[in-house]
Amino acid sequence: MNVRKPIDSLTPTSVLSVSFNDDCSCFSVGLESGFCVYHTKSCLLKASRDFNAGVGQVQMMGTTNYLALVGGGKSPKFAVNKVTIWDDSKSKVALEITALSTVRGVQLSREHIIVVLQNSVRVYSFAKPPDLLHVYETDDNYAGLCSLSNKQVVFPGRTQGHVQIVELGTGNVSIIPAHSSPLQAIQLSPDGELLATASETGTLIRVYSTGNCARVAELRRGIDTATIFSLGFSPSSTILACTSDRSTLHLFDIPHPRKANSHRRNQQSGGSASDVEGKWGILSKIPMMPRVFSDVYSFASAPFEAEDESVIGGIPVSRGAGLATTKPVKGLIGWIAEDALIVLGAGQDARWEKFVIVDGEDGKRHCVREGWKRYLGNM
């Protein structure tokens, strides 16, 4: 007789959304029944709240008890055009912001609440009541692309492929014409000095200095078109990780403007002529060859789990869906150390995967998966 407990239930819980807090020490998940918060390093449950209704988006403020919630799923707890700031220590709503259309994304800090709509970004003060400080128009932004640091917030521009960098202290705006195709991913570095971007084409990743908007690196993920899932800088901002629907995690060295060692390491592995020649041989030195033979590639890569799911909570997903939910997040990157990172997935097969950078016997760095869990089993 088989008395073992089943590994998975017959009707697994679907994770509607997943996000890291600002230092990636915790991650929050939205469920059809409420939300949960986990410790990133251990994947152990930190807190949970059962609303018996769906939460489509959750964003945690640092390591505080405040979370930004947006309704979602088959039976939303909150309206999809409303951002609710929840104080979990008091088990009650602290603030509310009602928008004119579906909320596509939220970012949260101690001073600001950033509300992302399909064609605008609204910056509010974190106060009671919240004051609307700025409104910025954007190109269509169904995915709610937005990245926040201590001093800046970045999001799509009004022109396809452009990025706006807003200085929160002054409201000054800089525009970077990053790509000719619509944006797929944007990410600020932890120190706010670098910005990584990728378009819907998914072959090239560009890195810019936020100080002068100059391009500091152009990285090739691959030759074939792909959907970029996530971009993530290491704590020192000298390594960039990338995931895509090719189910591969890539790691690139980044020449940080203020950190000389990153350039030295980049010369050793990520962007030197010898490294390119090692990948393409003499082809990289032949004049007039296509640029793909001289581009900078990742210094290490590893497969991760990225199942294809076209429905969420039983509701088909489309670009125009007004349900404050999108296709389940896959491949979300969060660094927990300079040589270790976590990759998260939502949906029905909600996974936590840990990867580490190790030195190989061949003298090169490699990316190795150290372990994985289905994190809803740790509730």
Q: In this structure, are 145 and 32 located in the same domain?
A: no
Q: In this structure, are 98 and 143 located in the same domain?
A: no
Q: Find the angle CA(315)-CA(83)-CA(38) to the nearest 5 degrees.
A: 75
- Tell whether the torsion through CA atoms of 23, 26, 28 and 29 is positive or negative: positive
CATH of the domain at 44: 2.40.10
What pTM did the predictor assign?
A: 0.86
Give the Cα separation of 147 and 74 in Å (integer). Answer: 28
**Do residues 165 and 154 make contact, with C-beta atoms less than 8 angstroms apart?**
yes
Task: Output phi, psi for 284, to 5 deg.
Answer: -70, -15
What the block records as the tokens of 55 is 């939460």
- Provide the domain count of the chain: 2
Per-residue pLDDT reduced to its tens digit, 186-202: 999 999 999 999 999 99
SS3 content of the chain, % helix, strand, coil (to 5): 10, 45, 45
What residue numbers bound the domain in which 207 lies?
139-258+288-307+328-378
Give the Cα separation of 159 and 183 in Å (integer). Answer: 10
- pLDDT tens string for the chain (379 positions)? 444 443 343 345 689 999 999 999 999 999 999 999 999 999 999 999 999 999 999 999 998 999 999 999 999 999 999 999 999 999 999 999 999 999 999 999 999 999 999 999 999 999 999 999 999 999 999 999 999 999 999 999 999 999 999 999 998 999 999 999 999 999 999 999 999 999 999 999 999 999 999 999 999 999 999 999 999 999 999 999 999 999 999 999 998 777 655 444 444 444 433 343 344 444 444 454 444 445 889 999 999 997 655 544 433 344 444 444 456 689 999 999 999 999 999 988 899 999 999 999 999 999 999 999 999 865 5
Q: In this structure, are 250 and 333 located in the same domain?
A: yes
CATH of the domain at 147: 2.130.10.10
Per-residue pLDDT reduced to its tens digit, 324-357: 445 668 999 999 999 999 999 998 889 999 999 9
C-alpha distances (whole Å) from 163 to each of 5, 131, 225 are: 50, 25, 21
Q: In this structure, are 207 and 301 located in the same domain?
A: yes
Residue type, 330: K
Q: In this structure, are 299 and 351 located in the same domain?
A: yes
